[in-house]
Amino acid sequence: MKATVAVWIATFYLVAFYTLLHFDASPLLTGLVYLSVPLVIICMVLIVLLDDTAKYPELKDEEWGYADKKKEDLWIV
């Protein structure tokens, strides 16, 4: 699954949860959704961190990850 899809699903899930709270839905349904929110967030974070669809160039030994900055400009001692 792409990271953007995971973020959209988690966002929709949280908006649906707050909509349930606002409209005084069943306490059982609201409680189940509330208990599953951490699982949804953890899954989203893992999918985003493990997403490898974007291809980035490999860094050489002395290369930094900031391609638009020089090492001296980053205030690193």
Residue 76's contacts (CB-CB under 8 Å, 6 or more residues apart) are none
DSSP letters spanning 19-55:
HHHHTT--HHHHHHHHHHHHHHHHHHHHHHHH---S-
pLDDT at 24: 86
Tell me the pLDDT tens digit for each residue of 4-57: 999 999 999 999 999 999 998 999 999 999 999 999 999 999 999 998 887 777
